[in-house]
A and B are shown apart, each in its own frame.
Chain A
């Protein structure tokens, strides 16, 4: 599978920033502090189950719902 990681990251950034550029940068910084190197992930990045699990946990911490992403269950 490819691209799922990037889609989750984008969802978190979209929800946290709600279109505000400064808040998007802050949300990105928070993800980097949590060990997710946002810029490394593209639509072509192979998904790693550990990273996906970590991102799901982070989404929960931010109270961001991933329900509409139709994620592949591992």
Chain B
């Protein structure tokens, strides 16, 4: 069984009471929650753990929350699972991620707990979730190492702070962490699936990153030209390099795996350099993308999955903040929430999505059967 709850009560005590009432019918072994940075991080983490003393309780700070039928602000959303849905779960925290990379150490704890090497684990029997400090710039190395060490799929998102860009938080069993990644290895009782959806089509324009500063997520040159200039030339109406920022939301670039784009979104231009929300490597060939309809594409992806699976117990949706901002601009957030109205769903607006690597302008969704 999966149950969801939410509260937009500004006072934390009342919000916790609210959630308690909504989840009275379930005896959870696992709780996932996303909470606006409006709530005190330490208080919300400890209060949520106190509320569910017999469950593993994880969460992170957000930049807007999602619950079946609604997109919210300044709220808490919660998903409670019982042992009919989650057979087992193990958490491992990776700290000081901006300077170190201790994924291997975290994986050892999974191996000891499940008594199986990570490299040989059956990806159909296990699934991973990853919540990561959204301001750490460490997502790429964490996801790369995860990918090196296991075939188990890790899906997740980068924590947010309501667009303040000051500090994001990870919550685990009553404690609060920054500069950390929380890895959760789940053994779903009835299996899992996923959706990765982004609303873009490819244009017939290629940009090769010929000079980059990988760590700073900067592209200095595309096609051996100053990055902003090359990007401007690739755009259909050839704007001035200074005004390319106006096109970022509609025309990011995609790293293509067959027909599937792994979106890399530009953030800003500094001295003709383009700063991205994720890393690009030197030599990477990217396709210029053009936006399509988020609601239509999400609904289509979900309808296809519903048809394929027949029953979906619940969804955790890691939805890029840039998609949320786009929906807000179009006044369509309610419509987006309604796409999930008939399925128990929680989610949040992320500072980046995790799926194989660190990606942007995408929704990665973990589906429980």
A binding-site residues for B, Cβ under 8 Å: 16, 22-23, 25-26, 28-30, 32-35, 37, 39, 61-63
Cα(A4)–Cα(B156), bound, Å: 36
B123: CB under 8 A from chain A? yes
Can you list 27 pairs linking A and B with CB atoms under 8 Å apart? Answer: A22-B123, A23-B151, A25-B257, A25-B258, A26-B356, A29-B260, A29-B262, A29-B356, A29-B357, A30-B144, A30-B147, A30-B356, A32-B255, A32-B256, A32-B257, A33-B144, A33-B147, A33-B255, A33-B262, A33-B356, A34-B281, A35-B281, A35-B282, A35-B284, A37-B285, A39-B258, A61-B148
B binding-site residues for A, Cβ under 8 Å: 119, 123, 143-144, 147-148, 151, 153, 255-258, 260, 262, 281-285, 356-357
Contacts of A35 in B (CB 8 A): 281-284
Given A30-B147, A62-B148, CB of A23 within 8 Å of CB of B123: yes
Q: Shortest Cβ distance from B229 into chain A, in angstroms?
A: 23
Cα(A39)–Cα(B284), bound, Å: 13
Q: Shortest Cβ distance from A65 into chain B, in angstroms?
A: 13
Q: Shortest Cβ distance from B258 into chain A, in angstroms?
A: 8
In the bound complex, do residue A32 and residue B151 qualify as a contact, i.e. CB atoms below 8 Å apart?
A: no
| Other contacts beyond A25-B258, A29-B357, A30-B147: 13, CB < 8 A | A26-B356, A28-B257, A29-B260, A30-B144, A30-B148, A32-B262, A33-B144, A33-B255, A34-B144, A34-B281, A35-B281, A35-B282, A35-B284
Q: Shortest Cβ distance from A24 into chain B, in angstroms?
A: 11
* Closest residue on chain B to residue A37 by CB atoms: B285
Given A29-B356, A34-B281, CB of A16 within 8 Å of CB of B257: no
Contact count A vs B, C-beta below 8 Å: 43
Q: Shortest Cβ distance from B139 into chain A, in angstroms?
A: 12
Closest 10 A-B residue pairs measured CB to CB?
A: A35-B281, A33-B357, A61-B148, A30-B147, A29-B356, A29-B257, A32-B257, A23-B151, A35-B284, A35-B283
Contacts of B260 in A (CB 8 A): 29
Contacts of A63 in B (CB 8 A): 119, 148
Contacts of B262 in A (CB 8 A): 29, 32-33
Contacts of A37 in B (CB 8 A): 285
Cα(A33)–Cα(B358), bound, Å: 9
Cα(A26)–Cα(B123), bound, Å: 11
* Closest residue on chain B to residue A23 by CB atoms: B151
Cα(A16)–Cα(B149), bound, Å: 10
Q: Shortest Cβ distance from B23 into chain A, in angstroms?
A: 34
Cα(A44)–Cα(B256), bound, Å: 22
* Closest residue on chain B to residue A25 by CB atoms: B257
Q: Shortest Cβ distance from B174 into chain A, in angstroms?
A: 34
Cα(A61)–Cα(B123), bound, Å: 19
Cα(A39)–Cα(B262), bound, Å: 16
Cα(A23)–Cα(B136), bound, Å: 29
Contacts of A61 in B (CB 8 A): 148
Contacts of B119 in A (CB 8 A): 63
Cα(A23)–Cα(B258), bound, Å: 15
Q: Shortest Cβ distance from A57 into chain B, in angstroms?
A: 11
Contacts of B257 in A (CB 8 A): 25, 28-29, 32
Contacts of B285 in A (CB 8 A): 37
| Residue of A29, A30, A33 contacting most chain B CB atoms (<10 Å) | A33
* Closest residue on chain A to residue B120 by CB atoms: A18
Cα(A32)–Cα(B123), bound, Å: 21
